[in-house]
Amino acid sequence: MKDNVNRPFSEDEKSGLYRAIFERRDVRSQFLPDPIPEDVLARLIEAAHHAPSVGFMQPWDFIAIDSVAVREQVLQIFEQENEKAAGNYQGDRQQTYRSLKLQGILESPINLCITCDRSRGGTHVLGRHSIVETDLFSTCLAVQNLWLAARAEGIGVGWVSILDQDKLAATLNLPEQVYPLAYLCLGYVSEFLPQPELQAKGWRSRLPLTELVHGNTWGQPVDNIALSEALKK
């Protein structure tokens, strides 16, 4: 692979990358009980470990969780927080919210917590002087790497974000400086939905890209006519 680092991507390779991006899904309801082979899981974690990071700090660690007891504790944290979250909505919106399945903690064969060690790299990390949160941003890139690699492997990933981070950190026995950035459910699935589940169930739709691209400064139209037309396709 290292010998090919300067080789252009073939059309098939480019197509595969874009396919993984566009067909990636946040999976909650379609998990199968089949275990993920160790070599496949290792490839996913290695892909995450090759994410870019500011100052090459590599602030991530990976906690593979197959213990049912631990996952039941995490599920309890989710249920407590999910009940609180439901209170943010009223009427039909709340009813729709309660109908959504927002986790696959026990249904997936393995959970993976990707953490961010906020002390990794020492006091002065190159490139982190002005934006302290770059360690968190870098760890998010590791999550995305793993997610795309998982899609290419036919493995679904679901990010459980409705969790009390302090309780989760205590459950996973994390050191004080380590933040549990992403709690993920991983597993093979019965299907990948043709569109994101929240979109399919009418919660939100994808925003038009033409409304999100600005030219030079905020709110100004894109001067490049060719780019403007391409964004409409």
- Return all residues near 174 (Cβ < 8 A) that are at least 6 apart: 115, 180
Q: How much is the pLDDT for 233? A: 80
Q: What is the pLDDT of residue 1?
A: 53
pTM of the shown model: 0.94
How do residues 219-232 score in pLDDT, each as one tens digit?
998 888 888 888 88
* Domains observed in the chain: 20-202 (3.40.109.10), 206-233 (no CATH)
Q: Determine the Cα–Cα distance for residues 94 and 89; give it in Å rounded to an integer.
A: 5
Amino acid sitting at position 31: F
Rounded (to 5) percent helix, strand, coil in the chain: 40, 15, 45
110 contacts 187 by C-beta, under 8 angstroms: yes
Per-residue pLDDT of the chain (233 residues), as tens digits, is 556 888 999 999 999 999 999 999 999 999 999 999 999 999 999 999 999 999 999 999 999 999 999 999 999 999 999 999 999 999 999 999 999 999 999 999 999 999 999 999 999 999 999 999 999 999 999 999 999 999 999 999 999 999 999 999 999 999 999 999 999 999 999 999 999 999 999 999 999 999 999 999 999 988 888 888 888 88
How many angstroms separate the CA atoms of 125 and 39, rounded?
33
